[in-house]
């Protein structure tokens, strides 16, 4: 029986793989038209001060409204966009939309807050990136200090010489730099020493196990301490429970992000959320 289920398992696995590559090609074809057809939308998730629970910024996260499939999550299309090069125009649209939205919230009477965008490796290493960012900042009139770019260590590993050049240029402009998903993947931590980074985001896989899982707890605590000694800001991502919140407060993680506070939401909903939190603080 074990043998049989094993065989079924393999059959199921290869059927799944076939389905996956088939779906991937179909998605790839649709992705080519998505920007032109206005199928993308940015969602926004707050970053909060761990002590005051005041909103101190937000992360812009892309969503794809596929005409037949409905909402497609970034895990299902960002890597396709990356492999096909479509990430360049899509990524530019992301930065532009996030900056324009942020200035709109300001015009609507909100305090200007730093807005973070995710940059994928190909986008980060594209020679047009700096010019595009400069153009977007000047067109939207958003001060560079209110833009944060989140990159994973993978970006840095792929082309360290270029990454260093781009990061320094961004730093000079005043753009904030955050290392995303810290602790997973390459995780050499050398990027923190070499590059002009402002913040690190502890990957949510570590936050998930708090406080019971001992290695998750130890790693989280170590990252918080290390960042503190290096003079870096730390953000814990994926905070879902009060127990996780209490742990992170106890170890003085300065900033938090996660479903415990809010999920990523469309711009108009996020604006209401900003307005409500203003009232509750007043
Ligand atoms: P990320 O940059 O690490 O973003 C955080 C992800 O964690 C988001 O998933 C967010 O919805 C999710 N999240 C936040 N709080 C919680 C929580 O409490 N629990 C759980 N389980 N998840 C939480 P999302 O929006 O699906 O994005 C996934 C990844 O896709 C992002 O990870 C980022 O790497 C990439 N991505 C998203 N938007 C963009 C974009 O505009 N451009 C690029 N290049 N990549 C993007
Ligand atoms: Mg991110
Ligand atoms: Mg992350
Ligand atoms: Mg991630």
Please tell me the number of the ligand nearest to residue 77's CA.
1
Which pLDDT score is estimated for 104?
98
Averaged pLDDT of the chain: 91
Return the ligand 1 atom nearest residue 43 CA.
25
Whole-number Å distance, alpha carbon 134 to ligand 4 midpoint, is 26
- Whether 220 shows a pLDDT value over 80: the answer reads yes
How many CB atoms lie under 10 A from the CB of residue 229?
8
Count the helix, strand and coil residues of the chain and give each as a percent rounded to the nearest 5: 55, 20, 25
pLDDT in tens, 192-213: 777 789 999 999 999 999 999 9
ipTM of the predicted assembly exceeds 0.85: yes
Return the ligand 1 atom nearest residue 94 CA.
41
Band (6; pLDDT cuts 50, 70, 90): low
Which pLDDT score is estimated for 158?
77
Alpha carbons 198 and 233: distance in angstroms, whole number: 6
Distant-in-sequence, close-in-space partners of 154: CB < 8 Å, separation ≥ 6: 121, 185, 186
Band (128; pLDDT cuts 50, 70, 90): very high
Which pLDDT score is estimated for 8?
64
pLDDT in tens, 229-256: 999 999 999 999 999 999 999 999 999 9
Q: Would you say 147 and 170 are in contact if contact means Cβ atoms under 8 Å apart?
A: no
Q: Please name every residue paired with 148 in a beta bridge, in sequence order, or none if there are none.
A: 116, 176
- The model carries a pTM of 0.92
* Share above pLDDT 70 across residues of the chain, in percent, rounded to a whole number: 90
Instruction: Using alpha carbons, list the distances in angstroms from residue 65 to 38, 62, 68, 129.
Output: 9, 10, 9, 26
Residue nearest ligand 1's atom 13 by CA: 238
The DSSP-derived string for 241-253 is: SHHHHHHHHHTT-
Query: b/e string for 97-111 if b means 16 or more Cβ within 10 A?
Result: bbbbbbbebeeeeee
Which secondary-structure segment (H or E) carries 235? strand 233-237
- Whether 5 shows a pLDDT value over 60: the answer reads no
Residue nearest ligand 1's atom 37 by CA: 61
Distant-in-sequence, close-in-space partners of 13: CB < 8 Å, separation ≥ 6: none
Residue nearest ligand 1's atom 34 by CA: 118
pLDDT in tens, 51-97: 999 999 999 999 999 999 999 999 999 999 999 999 999 999 999 99
Determine phi and psi for 57, rounding to 5 degrees: 165, -175
- Within 6 Å (CB) of ligand 1, which residues are found? 45, 61-62, 73-75, 78, 91, 94, 118-120, 150, 180-181, 204, 237-240, 257-259, 264
Extract the tokens encoding 178: 């955050």
- Helix, strand or coil, per DSSP, at residue 147: strand
Band (7; pLDDT cuts 50, 70, 90): low
């Amino acid at each position: 029986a074990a043998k049989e289920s094993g065989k079924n398992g393999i059959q199921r696995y290869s059927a799944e793989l076939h389905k996956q590559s088939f779906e991937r090609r179909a998605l790839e074809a649709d992705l080519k038209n998505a920007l032109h057809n206005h199928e993308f939308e940015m969602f926004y998730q707050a970053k909060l001060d761990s002590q005051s629970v005041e909103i101190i910024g937000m992360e812009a996260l892309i969503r794809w409204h596929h005409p037949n499939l409905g909402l497609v999550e970034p895990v299902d299309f960002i890597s396709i966009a990356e492999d096909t090069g479509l990430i360049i125009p899509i990524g530019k649209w992301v930065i532009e939309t996030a900056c324009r939205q942020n200035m709109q919230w300001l015009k609507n009477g909100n305090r200007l807050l730093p807005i973070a965008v995710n940059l994928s490796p190909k986008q980060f290493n594209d020679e047009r990136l700096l010019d595009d960012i400069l153009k977007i900042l000047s067109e939207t009139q958003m001060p560079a200090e209110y833009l944060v770019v989140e990159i994973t260590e993978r970006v840095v590993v792929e082309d360290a010489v270029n990454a260093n050049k781009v990061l320094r240029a961004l730093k000079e402009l005043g753009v904030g730099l955050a290392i995303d998903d810290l602790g997973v993947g390459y995780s050499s931590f050398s990027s923190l020493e070499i590059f002009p980074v402002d913040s690190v985001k502890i990957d949510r896989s570590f936050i998930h196990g708090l406080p019971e899982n001992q290695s998750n707890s130890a790693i989280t605590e170590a990252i918080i301490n290390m960042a503190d000694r290096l003079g870096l800001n730390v953000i814990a991502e994926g905070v879902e429970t009060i127990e996780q919140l209490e742990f992170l407060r106890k170890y003085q993680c300065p900033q938090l992000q996660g479903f415990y506070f809010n999920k990523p939401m469309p711009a108009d909903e996020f604006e209401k959320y900003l307005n409500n939190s203003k009232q509750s603080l007043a």
